[in-house]
Chain A
Amino acid sequence: MKGIHIRLFGILTLITLIMTACAPTAPTEAPPEPVEPTAASEDPVVEAPEEVTVTIGYTSSITGKYEVSSAAQVNGLNLWMEDINGAGGIELSDGTLVKFTSVTYDDESASERVQELYTRLATEDNADFLISPYSSGLTAAAAVISEQYGKLMITTGAASDATYKEGYTGVFQSYTPASRYLAGAVDMLQYLDPGLTKIAFVYENTKFSTSVVEAAKDYADSLGYDIVLYEGYDADTTDFGPFINKVEAAGPEAILGGGHRVDGKAFAQQLYEKGIDVKYIALLVAPPEPEFAELGDAAVGIIGPSQWEPLAEFTADSAAEAGYEFFGPVGADFTSAFESAYGSEPSYHAAGGYAAGMMLEKAIRDADSVDIDAVKSALDAMDVITFYGHIKFDTTPEAHGLQIGHSMVYIQWQKDDAGVLAKQVVWPLEGATAETIYPLH
């Protein structure tokens, strides 16, 4: 009997140990010793410490549907952190060196986990600054918590405008907002074919896609286009056959909209297979992703908005010409550093992650402090060009933190002379690397 008890105790202990080891809420990196953010001007009598370690808190989607985009975003952020720490940190005017560390959890691509974990980051981990999770939906959930605990959060991978119209004062957006995501695609269409009138807008029923397409539809309406179809589809849709039949029956000359990676790819593939006779197709999110090329001929001619492309060139010279300060590395340096660190070309999600870190770095430099209020003021005043593009935030109470400087580039999949599929930047014209294939058929 005693032996059974001992064995039972042993088994229970083992199970407890295994469960402790596998606990999902354990941070993937141990937080450093809590360090109070120090403002150089706070107390002139006390000598400033030589080194301050600032903790950045964020969640990423290690599991669930946002895993790939989130991983790219985190890789970008980590690369920035390695770069800045590797360069010795940020030196403030009083000689203090600011270095960075992070605390992160898996949010499982679920908003309820995001709220729980950002509360933990703000209260238990004492993160000094926050970076958003990936996606507009998860970021909306995180922003509430960030604001509630008086934190400062830079968002990336989150384009929906709504989050920045809630009256928050400490949430700053790095992506071009959803309301301007497809505006360039409408402008390009107008440039390519002023005689075209009929557009179908189709969209995945999610917060992000709906807000993008609604804004694009209003813009197209204002330009006098005839909107022959405006309809959403379920987020899990895989069979677009009947939906495409309905689109075809409406007789559009151009199709704009889409949603995310899986549905966008399926929609493009099935549009091609059905041989839909339209002149122009622009879809969200999926086309800029490298795996879109797996569609083969179905990818040719498809246009997609991208927050950033390796082909895009923003340099100190181009910034000076436009009358702006240039900050950070140039695109080629970021791309090669990312490729050597992760073995693949950076997507715009990765660039967004790096840019989010860089915005925080720039704000700390400008504020000459890590005090939250000083950094917020520096972000409010920021008007700078980086490899990622122009960065400037709305400072009005109605849309505080909304990104108003950055704009999209538009890519199109084209075949080169050897028949190999490659992305080309086709809009804006000043950044174009190839002429647009138009019309499609």
Chain B
Amino acid sequence: MIDTILSSMTDGLMLGFVYGLAAMGLTLIWGVMNVINLAHGPIIALGMFGVYLTFTQLGLNPYIALILLAVIGLLLGILIYLIAVHRVINAPHLSTLLATFSVNMIIIGVGTSLLSTTPRNIDFPLGRIDLGPVTILYTRFAAAGAALLITGLLYLFLYRTRQGKYIRAVANNRTAAELMGIPSMRILALSFGIGTMLAMVSGGLIATFFPFTILSGGGYELKSFLICVLGGLGNPIGALLGGLILGTLEGLIPMFMPTTWVPVLEFVLFVLILLIRPQGLLGGET
């Protein structure tokens, strides 16, 4: 039993890093511009197809493709912000929700039409290592490593660069930031771009070990909401911690009860956090 628990906990932890990375994109946009990005799931799915298509059509190594995907994600995010979000950024929340929901529907509609809902996967096995009772798949290990690396880079960007400090300033008080001469529109567009980039890269990493369709992002979007609340809205490190907690729970719960209880317990946790510690475990900050 201990062996099974150890093995499942490791599986969950590895996946938790990627969950955290996916949630980081959502929490950044949420924290900086107070926009709930309902296109987050389809963007994750676009990341999956980005890696799939470059791998199957161009023969590109999936991990190299992630760099290309990051650039495309950044540009796509800026484009979505300028076209769909910027005009309603100061409108009531419902307007931004509808704007991002529209983007969601466009991506799903075009994606279904072009890519169909046939499940795809990337046949790029890296093998596994057995450490006693624990089996670690190198694809998951690589994804966890990439997620950690990207989190570190994001942290350095936000705290050690001028643009990063601008983002934090705009998140803290947009009006005051504008009075200090910070170009808020540019910074908001950049933040949306980075959030989209993180979602696409996390999708690309997930595609290296799970099959997917254009509709697969929905589940990760839902998990990302839960993780954002768990870790603290707008807090990237909180998102990583939230991801690890969620991943571990998903690994351990099936050991003690039927697997179908996993979403039930996850959302009980969601409600509990909202009731007991609405600011999340690490509090909301950028």
Contact = CB atoms under 8 A, between A and B. Distances in A.
Interface of A: 63-68, 71, 205, 231-234, 236-239, 241-243, 245-246, 248-249, 261-262, 265-266, 269, 273-275, 286, 289, 291, 294-297
A241 B91 CA distance: 44
Contact of B112 (A67, A238, A261, A269): A67
Nearest to B117: A67
Q: Which of A231, A232, A238 has the most CB of B within 10 A?
A: A238
B219 A236 contact: yes
Contact of A249 (B1, B137, B219, B258): B1
Contacts of A291: 118-120
Interface stretch (B92-100, B168-176, B210-218): B210-218
A239 B4 CA distance: 16
B128 A242 contact: no
Contacts of B212: 238, 262
B202 interface: no
Nearest to A272: B125
Contacts of B123: 294-296
Interface string B244-274: 0000001111110011101100000000000
B109 interface: yes
Contacts of A242: 8, 11-12, 250-255, 259
Contacts of B120: 291, 294
B279 interface: no
A41 to B, nearest CB: 47
Contacts of B253: 242
A265 B128 contact: no
A234 B263 contact: yes
A67 B254 contact: no
Contacts of B128: 273-275
A66 B108 CA distance: 14
Nearest to A268: B211
29 contacts: A65-B213, A68-B116, A205-B260, A232-B258, A233-B259, A234-B260, A238-B212, A239-B250, A242-B255, A243-B259, A245-B8, A245-B255, A246-B8, A246-B254, A246-B259, A262-B119, A262-B211, A262-B212, A265-B211, A266-B119, A269-B121, A269-B210, A273-B137, A273-B209, A274-B137, A286-B119, A289-B118, A294-B123, A296-B125
A295 B116 contact: no
B115 to A, nearest CB: 10
**What 6 pairs between A and B have smallest CB-CB spacing?**
A241-B11, A242-B8, A296-B123, A262-B119, A265-B211, A67-B117
Interface residues of B, number: 43
Given A246-B254, A265-B211, A273 B259 contact: no
Contacts of B7: 245
B119 A249 contact: no
A298 to B, nearest CB: 8
B259 A232 contact: yes
Q: Which of A67, A237, A261, A262 has the most CB of B within 10 A?
A: A262
Q: Which of A233, A242, A248 has the most CB of B within 10 A?
A: A242
Contact of A245 (B4, B119, B125, B216): B4
A110 B141 CA distance: 38
A265 B213 CA distance: 11
B15 interface: yes
Contacts of A205: 260
Q: Which of A64, A241, A274, A291 has the most CB of B within 10 A?
A: A241
B249 to A, nearest CB: 10
Given A262-B119, A273-B128, A294-B121, A239 B213 contact: no
Contacts of A294: 120-121, 123
A241 B1 CA distance: 15
A68 B118 contact: yes
Given A262-B213, A297-B125, 18 more contacts: A68-B116, A238-B206, A238-B211, A242-B8, A242-B12, A242-B253, A242-B255, A245-B7, A245-B8, A246-B4, A246-B8, A248-B4, A269-B210, A294-B120, A294-B121, A294-B123, A295-B121, A296-B125
B114 to A, nearest CB: 12
Contacts of A232: 258-260
B155 to A, nearest CB: 26
A233 B254 CA distance: 10
Interface in B4-34: 4, 7-8, 11-12, 15
A289 B121 CA distance: 14
B102 interface: no
